[in-house]
C-alpha cells in the first residue's frame, strides 16, 4: 500500500463518517494519508476520498474531482480529472489546472511509485510506501467480513507458515457469531502458540478509567472469572512503553511475589479514538520466559483484538443510531452518536457560530389542507420533507426541525476547511459567503426538484417560499435533562423565518447583508423595503439567477 505525505504547510485529518480524508491548513496535524479505498478520488467535492479545501480563489486551481489513483496488477496509477461521468456534461471531465507528477503534467494514466511527487493546484504531496506493521487492518476486516480466502505470497517458508496460521485464525474468527466466543478463541490461540503465556487477559480502560479484565484465560484450564493482574506492569506500559517485554522480573513487587509472576508480555490495544486497553500475558510457574518472537505474534493478535473491540463498538453505535433516528432529527442523532463514541453524556451546552439559516414552506398549504383528506395531506408532506431534507444535506447542511409544513435548514461555517474559516470570529466574510452560497444553492435545488415532483405527481404546481439569512447564531443543546433539542437560536434565525413569509411563489428572499454575500454567483432583484416584525424596516432582495 502507499500513502501521501504533505509538505510542511498543511496536514490531513481522518473522518470516519463517512470514511474520508480532509486537507487542513493546520501545520501541526497528521502528515500522511493512507490510500485506503481504490479508486482514490481527490478533489473539492464532498464525495471524494481526499477532500481539498474549497473557496472562490481555490476553485481557479482545483476541481471538484481533480484526479484519481487506481490500481492494476499490483501497481498504482495516477490519472487527471474525474473518475466517473460528471452530471452536467455527461462525460468525464479533466481538472481545471492539470495534475503534475514529478514536475510534469500528466496526459494519461501514469504509474505512481514511492518517491514520486504530486502537485494538485498549489498542494504538493510526496508518495510513500505505507508503513504497515504485521498486518493491514483494512485487509483483515475485508477477509473477516467476506469469508473469502486470500492468496499470500511471503518470501520465505518460515514467513509462509506464520502468515498461514494467522490466515487460518481469521477464517476461524469469521465463524463466530458471539463476540465473547471470538475473543476467547483469540486468547486460547495465544495460550497455545506462546509457551510462556500461562495467564492471559484482555484489559480495558475505557475513557481513561482504571484497568479491568474484560476477559481472562488460563492455559490448560479455560476462562477465568476472578483474574488478578500486576498493575505495576500496566503503569509502565501506560506511561512510557510502546510494549512491555519483561523476560525475567528481577525485582518483583509484593503482588508479583504473591502471584509468583516471573515473566510478562504486554501490548497496547489501539482504536481510532486512542487506546482501548492492553493484551496482558504473564508466566506464574517460572518455567518459561517470553521472547521477541512471542512479541511479534502478540502484536498481531493485539491488532486482531483491537479490530474485534472496534467492530463491537461500531455495531453498538450503528444500532444506537438506528434507534435514535425514530425519535430525533438527523443532526441530534449525529451528535449523540459521536458523544456516545467518545463516552460522553449529552450536556446542556451552547456555542456561538457563523451559519446560514434557511426556511422553506409550501405556498397555499393551508388551502390544500382544507380541501383534502388526511391521507392526501400525508401523501404530500412525506415526499416534501424527504426532498427538502435531501437538498439541505446535499450542500453540507442539516435539518434543524419541521414546523408544520416549514423546514428549517442550518449551514454551519464550522464544517469548512480550517484555512477558509476561523470559527468563532465575528469578522469573517469568507465564512459568511460560503455558508450563504451553500444555502442558496440548496434553495435553488429545492424549487427545481419540488416543481418536478408536483407536476408529475399532482399535475399542478404548488410553489415554495424560501427565506435565508446569515450571521451569528447560538447553537447547541437546549432544554432540560429530560428533554433536549440541538437547535439554533438568534436574530439570524428569526429574520430568516420572517423573510420566508415575504418571499413570492418559488421565490428566495434575503436581506441586504445577505445579498452582498452571494451576488458574485447569483443575480438579485430589489424587492423594496418591507416592515419586518422585530426588525423594523428591512430591505429585501429576491434571487433571480
- Residue 151's pLDDT is 43
- pLDDT range class, residue 124, cuts 50, 70, 90: very high
Q: How many CB atoms are closer than 10 A to CB 161?
A: 11
Cβ atoms of 120 and 42 within 8 Å: the answer is yes
Which of the residue ranges 98-107, 190-199, 257-266, 330-339 would you say has the lowest mean pLDDT? 330-339
**What whole-number percentage of the chain has pLDDT above 70?**
81
Place of cell 505470497: 153
Q: What is the phi/psi pair of residue 471, to 5°?
A: 170, -160
Which of the residue ranges 65-74, 219-228, 237-246, 277-286 would you say has the lowest mean pLDDT? 237-246
In the three-class reduction of DSSP (H, G, I as helix; E, B as strand; rest coil), residue 241 is classed as coil
Which of the residue ranges 87-101, 196-210, 284-298 would you say has the lowest mean pLDDT? 196-210
Alpha carbon separation from 158 to 71, 163, 285 (Å, rounded): 29, 9, 30
The chain-wide mean pLDDT, for the chain, equals 82
Which of the residue ranges 112-126, 162-176, 290-304 would you say has the lowest mean pLDDT? 162-176
pLDDT digits (tens, 9 = 90+) for 454-477: 998 888 889 999 999 999 999 877
Q: Which CATH class is domain 176-315?
A: alpha beta
Q: What pTM value is reported for the model?
A: 0.46
How buried is residue 133: exposed, middle or buried, by Cβ count under 10 Å (0-12/13-18/19+)?
exposed
- Residue 194's pLDDT is 92
Q: Which CATH class is domain 345-543?
A: alpha beta
Cβ atoms of 20 and 51 within 8 Å: the answer is yes
Cβ atoms of 243 and 204 within 8 Å: the answer is no
For residue 73, pLDDT over 90 is answered with no
How confident is the model over 46-61, as a mean pLDDT? Answer: 91
Cβ atoms of 388 and 446 within 8 Å: the answer is yes
Enter the DSSP assignment of 415.
G
Residue 207, Cα to own-chain centre: how many angstroms? 20
Nearest to 471 by CA among 451, 495, 453, 448: 495
For residue 145, pLDDT over 70 is answered with no
Cβ atoms of 99 and 105 within 8 Å: the answer is yes
The CATH fold of domain 2-129: Tumour Suppressor Smad4 (2.60.200)
CATH 3.30.450.40 positions along the chain are 176-315
How confident is the model over 438-462, as a mean pLDDT? Answer: 92
CATH 3.30.70.1230 positions along the chain are 345-543
The DSSP string of 466-483 is EEEEEEEEEEEEEEETTE
- pLDDT range class, residue 363, cuts 50, 70, 90: very high
Which of the residue ranges 38-52, 153-167, 415-429, 492-506 would you say has the lowest mean pLDDT? 415-429
Most distant CA atoms of the chain, gap in Å = 91
For residue 358, pLDDT over 90 is answered with yes
CATH 2.60.200.20 positions along the chain are 2-129
Nearest to 434 by CA among 401, 395, 474, 472: 395
221: its cell numbers: 484450564
- Residue 346's pLDDT is 56
pLDDT digits (tens, 9 = 90+) for 191-240: 998 999 999 999 887 655 678 888 999 998 888 888 888 888 877 775 55
Please state, in angstroms and rounded to a whole number, the distance separating the CA atoms of residues 142 and 138: 6
Dihedral sign for Cα 516, 519, 521, 524, please: positive
Amino acid at each position: 500500500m502507499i500513502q501521501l505525505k504533505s509538505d510542511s504547510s498543511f496536514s490531513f485529518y481522518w473522518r470516519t463518517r463517512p470514511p474520508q480524508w480532509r486537507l487542513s491548513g493546520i501545520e501541526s496535524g497528521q502528515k500522511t494519508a493512507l490510500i485506503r479505498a481504490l479508486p482514490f478520488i481527490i478533489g473539492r467535492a464532498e464525495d471524494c476520498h481526499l477532500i481539498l479545501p474549497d473557496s472562490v480563489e481555490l476553485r481557479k486551481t482545483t476541481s471538484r474531482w481533480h484526479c484519481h489513483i487506481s490500481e492494476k496488477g499490483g501497481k498504482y496509477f495516477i490519472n487527471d480529472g474525474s473518475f466517473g461521468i460528471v452530471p452536467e456534461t455527461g462525460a468525464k471531465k479533466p481538472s481545471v489546472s492539470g495534475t503534475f507528477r514529478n514536475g510534469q503534467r500528466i496526459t494519461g494514466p501514469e504509474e505512481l511509485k514511492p518517491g514520486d511527487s504530486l502537485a494538485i493546484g498549489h498542494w504538493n504531496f510526496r508518495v510513500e510506501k505505507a508503513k504497515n506493521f504485521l498486518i493491514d487492518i483494512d485487509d483483515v476486516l475485508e477477509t473477516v467480513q467476506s469469508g473469502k480466502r486470500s492468496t499470500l505470497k511471503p518470501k520465505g517458508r518460515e514467513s509462509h507458515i506464520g502468515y498461514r496460521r494467522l490466515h487460518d485464525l481469521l477464517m476461524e474468527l469469521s465463524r463466530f457469531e458471539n463476540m465473547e466466543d471470538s475473543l476467547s478463541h483469540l486468547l486460547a490461540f495465544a495460550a497455545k502458540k506462546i509457551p510462556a503465556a500461562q495467564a492471559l487477559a484482555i484489559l480495558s480502560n475505557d475513557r481513561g478509567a482504571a484497568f479491568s479484565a474484560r476477559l481472562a484465560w488460563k492455559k490448560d484450564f479455560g476462562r477465568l472469572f476472578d483474574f488478578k493482574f500486576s498493575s505495576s506492569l500496566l503503569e509502565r506500559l501506560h506511561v512510557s512503553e510502546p510494549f512491555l517485554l519483561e523476560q525475567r522480573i528481577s525485582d518483583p513487587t509484593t503482588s508479583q511475589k504473591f502471584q509468583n509472576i516471573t515473566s510478562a508480555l504486554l501490548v497496547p490495544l489501539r482504536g481510532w479514538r486512542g487506546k482501548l486497553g492492553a493484551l496482558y500475558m504473564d508466566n506464574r510457574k517460572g518455567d518459561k520466559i517470553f521472547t521477541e518472537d512471542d512479541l511479534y505474534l502478540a502484536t498481531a493478535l493485539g491488532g486482531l483484538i483491537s479490530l474485534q473491540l472496534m467492530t463491537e463498538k461500531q455495531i453498538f453505535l450503528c444500532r444506537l443510531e438506528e434507534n435514535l433516528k425514530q425519535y430525533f432529527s438527523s443532526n441530534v442523532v449525529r451528535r449523540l452518536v459521536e458523544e456516545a463514541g467518545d463516552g460522553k453524556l449529552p450536556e446542556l451546552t451552547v456555542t456561538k457560530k457563523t451559519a446560514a439559516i434557511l426556511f422553506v414552506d409550501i405556498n397555499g398549504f393551508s388551502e390544500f389542507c382544507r380541501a383534502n383528506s388526511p391521507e392526501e395531506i400525508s401523501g404530500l408532506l412525506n415526499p416534501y420533507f424527504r426532498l427538502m431534507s435531501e437538498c439541505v444535506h446535499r450542500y453540507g447542511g442539516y435539518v434543524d426541525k419541521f414546523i408544520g409544513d416549514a423546514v428549517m435548514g442550518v449551514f454551519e461555517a464550522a464544517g469548512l476547511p480550517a484555512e477558509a474559516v476561523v470559527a468563532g470570529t465575528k469578522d469573517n466574510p469568507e465564512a459568511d459567503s460560503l455558508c450563504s452560497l451553500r444555502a442558496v444553492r440548496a434553495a435553488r435545488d429545492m424549487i427545481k426538484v419540488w416543481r418536478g415532483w408536483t407536476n408529475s405527481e399532482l399535475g399542478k404546481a404548488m410553489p415554495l417560499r424560501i427565506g435565508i439569512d446569515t450571521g451569528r447564531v447560538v447553537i447547541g443543546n437546549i432544554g432540560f435533562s429530560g428533554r433536549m433539542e440541538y437547535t439554533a437560536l438568534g436574530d439570524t434565525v428569526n429574520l430568516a423565518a420572517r423573510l420566508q413569509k415575504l418571499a413570492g411563489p418559488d421565490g428566495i428572499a434575503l436581506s441586504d447583508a445577505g445579498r452582498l454575500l452571494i451576488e458574485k454567483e447569483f443575480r438579485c432583484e430589489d424587492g423594496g423595503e418591507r416592515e419586518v416584525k422585530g426588525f423594523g424596516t428591512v430591505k429585501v432582495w429576491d434571487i433571480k439567477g
